[in-house]
Structure 1
Amino acid sequence: MNALPIVSIRPEPGLSATVAGGAAEGFEIIGAPLFAIRPLVWELPDVEQFDGLLIGSANAIRHGGALINQCRHLPVYAVGKATAELAIECGFHVALVGEGGLQNVLDSLAGERLHLLRITGVEHRPLSVPPSITLTERIAYTSEALPMPGELAGELAKGGIIMLHSGAAAQHFVKECNRLGVNRKLLYIAALAPRIAEAAGDGWAGRHCAAAPNEAALLELVGQLCHDLREG
């Protein structure tokens, strides 16, 4: 049994995967999506000029629409196992699976002469591009923030552990806590990465980040928090 409610606010379908991951580790995660991913209209440049696709989220594959299907002959340079697996399921060849963000992927390609197409969302991190690489960006989807339900605010009245997967999620959650009068001093933050924990700011019962920027490490952190709170 959880010492406190554990809540994930990430959008679907990642939310369901997180809930299932928690169940596999022996704890219950409440799924309360405060975001919905929406596709946008975008234009595809001449695809023949590119040497590959740079993909930082499965949402690029999932919401890229008909245009991304025209890029199936291009190798995919992806971040994360889940993104790579979805790309393969959709008929793409994955040339590289990186960890820790797109910057690490680009850094690993330094010295290679490549023209890459980055398909991303409205909220995305700027990249430092090595001199040998040319990068073209297209925005194919957006993450729409949703209001926190009153039921969730009530669930957190006595405390909880909040899983945060992005800086935008952290900032939106803070805003909704302030709007609904949720006492942040009773909540523990479990963030995927240090920058996400920083985006949440101060004023929490505890603020922690995963040992590595991946789902397995985040679930491990949540499990450790549950153990520590029970013991404490």
Structure 2
Amino acid sequence: MSVPLVVLRPEPGLTATLIAAFERGLSARGMPLAVVEPRNWRAPSVAFAGILIGSANAVRSAGPELAKVAHLPVLAVGEASAQAAIAAGLEVEQVGEGSLQDLVNNLNSGPRHLLRLAGETHLHLDLPDNITVTTRITYTVHYSAPTKAQAALLREGSLVMLHSGEMARHFSQQCEALEIDKSSLTIAALAPRIAEMAGPGWSSVHIAPSRSDGALLDLAARLCNSLPMGNEGARSGAATMPENGSK
């Protein structure tokens, strides 16, 4: 029997991940702990060379105003944000494989003025001299604490999937507030920044080899089949160091 898999992700991404997990034969449980609320915004009436997207929610929450910039090519941080852009009718020019900062750093040397669609809480970027960015906020995320039943499940030991840095930080804070033993939990993170924001104290932290839900689920499947039920190994002091740049 494999270790329980907990998916910490707001809708609509949560349902998509749960379906994909079930298709892989994983016993996955959704624990969103967050709700995404669209924000009113206005597209600037200036010329841009493209749209910079660091989260699929930035596109999903953009609403009808997105049509005003739909002619612009998209620079997406990863596969999930790229697929959200395509679903919204946008053309994707480039998909990153690391962080949004890496994507910006690797753009060509010509001058570019980009429109960044982002959440209210978003990563600060150190822009190269040839890049300028105008940011518009399209959504806010409201976080919540685990219910008593959810906290009880976590205390039994689980593998926890993390898709965002902000959720990673929130989850870590909630575990500490509710006195949930972090050493009984294993983390599977979508990217290095997410693993970093989860902080220390977990049984082990593993990072997906590429920034896609499929890669993260494949990692989770391997871990679910190799971790002891209830993370007894972690409780006894045994720890597996993560693969591929894990913390």
TM-score (norm 1): 0.90
Match of 1:226 among 191, 207, 224: 224
- The match for 2:29 is 30
Task: State whether residues 99 and 193 of structure 2, in contact with CA within 8 Å, keep that contact through their aligned partners in structure 1.
Answer: no
Runs of 4 or more above 6 Å deviation: none
- The match for 2:113 is 115
- The match for 1:208 is 206
Q: Displacement, 1:33? A: 0.5
Match of 2:144 among 139, 143, 146: 146
Q: Displacement, 1:230? A: 4.5
Cα distance between partner residues in 2 of 1:80 and 1:212 = 9
Specify whether residues 82 and 184 from structure 1 end up closer, same or farther in structure 2 by C-alpha distance, changes over 3 A only. Answer: closer
Match of 1:185 among 183, 186, 208: 183
- The match for 2:51 is 53
1:168 paired with 2:169, answer: no
**Residue identity matched to 2:115:** L
- The match for 1:5 is 4
Match of 1:77 among 68, 75, 79: 75
Cα distance between partner residues in 2 of 1:188 and 1:5 = 10
Task: State whether residues 80 and 213 of structure 2, in contact with CA within 8 Å, keep that contact through their aligned partners in structure 1.
Answer: no
- The match for 2:14 is 15
Cα distance between partner residues in 2 of 1:228 and 1:89 = 36
Q: Displacement, 1:148? A: 0.8
Match of 1:130 among 120, 128, 133: 128
Q: Displacement, 1:193? A: 2.2
Q: Deviations over 1:15-60 (max 9, x none)?
A: 11211222232212101101111112323221x4212111122211
Q: Deviations over 1:116-161 (max 9, x none)?
A: 1001011211222222222111111111101211111111222111
Aligned length: 230
- Which has the larger displacement, 96-105 or 159-168? 96-105
SS at match of 2:155: coil
RMSD: 2.0
Cα distance between partner residues in 2 of 1:199 and 1:80 = 18
TM-score (norm 2): 0.85
Cα distance between partner residues in 1 of 2:88 and 2:212 = 22
Task: State whether residues 7 and 32 of structure 1, in contact with CA within 8 Å, keep that contact through their aligned partners in structure 2.
Answer: yes
Task: State whether residues 120 and 137 of structure 1, in contact with CA within 8 Å, keep that contact through their aligned partners in structure 2.
Answer: yes
Structure 1 residue runs without a partner (length 5+): none
Q: Displacement, 1:210? A: 2.2
Task: State whether residues 192 and 218 of structure 1, in contact with CA within 8 Å, keep that contact through their aligned partners in structure 2.
Answer: yes
Structure 2 residue runs without a partner (length 5+): 234-247
